Structure 1
């Protein structure tokens, strides 16, 4: 009885907490994470932000996780979407969907620290951190994991939550398919003359999308996608160059862009596992699929993985079933397949439509944005793709 989760990021931590909540701590959970968030420099310097959809926040609230996170969250009640050089735009409003907000934005570092505090205080969860997996062996009834400090753990189920191109999944002979978007994303935080308030911005350019998310009254989180061909040029910009180029691309809706923080660049790929289960193994979140940020779906999609798997494991445990049995894991893979494939398809379509300078596509998206401003159906579709918004009934 019990599960071993490898990867204590947002998805892995949430999965551990969800299983503990749904089973009232009756399933022993061992969570293995390589880095301690508040002691590792890569975490403390990390200025990335995550946008949690309204439906995601509802799920976290049901698990008792949202309240400690909400103290540091900034709500988004409006999203302004536009296309560079065109007059078409759409303005999405939470009130049009009869919800208090479209999403909430959190600092990734802060959210991770909050989740780790919950992990340490939740019955049934044993945290191994810092620790790394050195060896995995699977028998008919059990998985055995050897850690770098020599300890060996056993459980009927192993869960990979260790991110894109999961080393754990690959060690279990799962193959990945990969598509290179020939883009990279610059993430940082900026300060503008006018505060965003509770409004987020998504601006599409021929090279890729630019998104601004409010993280405080003073600062905004920026994700700016560029063509891979321009990477050396963009990374060579000093702060003044960067601010000038950003001002030219985004415009003056928020007044002058005053300051930029440390910048990080990441190449963009679509990666997805050939299968999301194997013998006594399940993949969740980015270990199963990693999407382009244009969809805003990363953590929201990963959370739907965790919620489905947590519910299936809780039901199996209540019946006394073997948690790592194929029938249990296949139920998880079957239930998640359609949602995962739909989001991959949607992301692919958005990248092709909104990161393309071909005249017919420019005209199509220009007309589309003007149409969306008048049509609630199209506005709702864009809400989903821009921020990973999910209606409570989904």
Structure 2
């Protein structure tokens, strides 16, 4: 999504000619109940609106109007809602299948965009004044700038030898969709448990998108449960705030690691989204950080005739550094604080949750980052 957003924004805002290379053709079958979802912050929603993309996404989106954060087995909890902050919403949940269809339609009909799919990059040649890419199909492309938006295992990074640092959290995420027996009222939840954080995001048709973080040992046990056992254990860990969990869809899991590309820019190459950094999902910041990468790159590219020259790319790098470092540090810190059973740490984090609502100077930065307004 980061790459498609960037391509359309560069066309519409900066009036640039763009070639998009996409490795995977669209699936003809919608996943239905099991459609995966992503949470967009209010800041991301506003940027998509600025790029003329939100109207086509919003029809299948579910707004987040309030957020509740709690720690299982302890008294403290906190949260906030859109009305308190004077906002229309805190964010929105979009199903990836619906978003994929919309983005492909927009890419294919944009006169400034050439869409190569399915295809992938097999070679890169960096010249002083331009850059060339060779595709698996044999097609050769050239331009002033190449943007890598090809995920944590970026082929572009591999070809130009741009390594990444890796912080392994020793956790896995289990993802699934849950059906409720009562309305979710557009509320999102983050609950910290002994097994790991549980996040539930509101979706269409009274479903919740679940992300449950856990150790590898717990994962092995979890994947052996039948669906009734899974729902019972999830209910035990989460509680009854949402009533009874009626149904769970297909489970999927993936390891949780922080990937940070050593360099955000290279000669006539920039990295955005998960190709630049991949975060732990604990605070839902990953895609939203990538959208801010996109917004910054669009802004600096629009100001330069040669959008691949060093001054343009250095401006992108310098403007992204503070937000990138702060967001990576915040998410990694939350993982370590809320995945720690050491008694003094448990006491400290519960005190922090308890006083959050009473200390405005703490609330501001946390809420602003949650809203994507940094």
Q: Identify the TM-score tier after normalising by the shorter chain.
A: over 0.9
Q: CA RMSD in A?
A: 1.7
1:12 — aligned with what? Answer: 3
Q: 1-side partners of 2:23 and 2:174: how far apart? A: 25
**Cα displacement (A) at 1:381:** 4.2
1:328 — aligned with what? Answer: 312
For the 8 Å contact 2:60–2:204, the answer to whether it is kept is: no
Q: 1-side partners of 2:196 and 2:122: how far apart? A: 39
102, 105, 110: which one aligns with 1:114: 102
**Cα displacement (A) at 1:44:** 7.7
* 1:373-388 equivalent positions in 2, closer than 5 A: 373-384=357-368, 388=370
21, 30, 48: which one aligns with 2:19: 30
**Cα displacement (A) at 1:360:** 0.8
Q: 1-side partners of 2:100 and 2:216: how far apart? A: 30
- SS of structure 2 residue aligned to 1:315: coil
Q: 2-side partners of 1:101 and 1:233: how far apart? A: 38
2:175 — aligned with what? Answer: 187
**Cα displacement (A) at 1:231:** 2.2
Stretches of 4+ moved more than 6 A in 1?
43-46
Q: 2-side partners of 1:19 and 1:298: how far apart? A: 21
For the 8 Å contact 1:165–1:176, the answer to whether it is kept is: no
1:354 — aligned with what? Answer: 338
Name structure 1 gaps, 5 residues minimum.
1-9
Q: 2-side partners of 1:16 and 1:247: how far apart? A: 42
- SS of structure 1 residue aligned to 2:334: helix
For the 8 Å contact 2:340–2:346, the answer to whether it is kept is: yes
For the 8 Å contact 1:211–1:223, the answer to whether it is kept is: yes
For the 8 Å contact 2:21–2:119, the answer to whether it is kept is: yes
Q: 1-side partners of 2:255 and 2:346: how far apart? A: 24
* 1:156-195 equivalent positions in 2, closer than 5 A: 156-195=144-183
Q: 2-side partners of 1:39 and 1:327: how far apart? A: 43
247, 255, 261: which one aligns with 2:243: 255
- SS of structure 1 residue aligned to 2:25: coil
- SS of structure 1 residue aligned to 2:236: helix
Q: 1-side partners of 2:307 and 2:28: how far apart? A: 34
194, 202, 211: which one aligns with 1:206: 194
For the 8 Å contact 1:105–1:215, the answer to whether it is kept is: yes
Q: 1-side partners of 2:10 and 2:43: how far apart? A: 19
**Cα displacement (A) at 1:382:** 4.2
**Cα displacement (A) at 1:40:** 7.5
**Cα displacement (A) at 1:225:** 0.4
- 1:139 pairs with 2:127: yes
Q: 2-side partners of 1:217 and 1:55: how far apart? A: 25
1:7 — aligned with what? Answer: none
Using a 3 Å threshold, how does the CA distance of structure 1 residues 289 and 45 change in structure 2: closer, same or farther?
farther
Q: Deviations over 1:219-248 (max 9, x none)?
A: 110011001232211121211111111011
For the 8 Å contact 1:136–1:146, the answer to whether it is kept is: yes
138, 143, 148: which one aligns with 2:136: 148
Using a 3 Å threshold, how does the CA distance of structure 1 residues 114 and 22 change in structure 2: closer, same or farther?
same
1:47 — aligned with what? Answer: 35
238, 241, 247: which one aligns with 2:226: 238
For the 8 Å contact 2:121–2:136, the answer to whether it is kept is: yes
- SS of structure 2 residue aligned to 1:374: coil
Q: 1-side partners of 2:365 and 2:352: how far apart? A: 12
**Aligned residue pairs, count:** 374
**Cα displacement (A) at 1:170:** 1.7
**Cα displacement (A) at 1:45:** 8.9
Q: Deviations over 1:290-347 (max 9, x none)?
A: 1110121111100110111111111103xxxx22111211111111011100111111
Q: 2-side partners of 1:18 and 1:133: how far apart? A: 22
For the 8 Å contact 2:14–2:298, the answer to whether it is kept is: no
**Cα displacement (A) at 1:152:** 1.0
- 1:282 pairs with 2:266: no
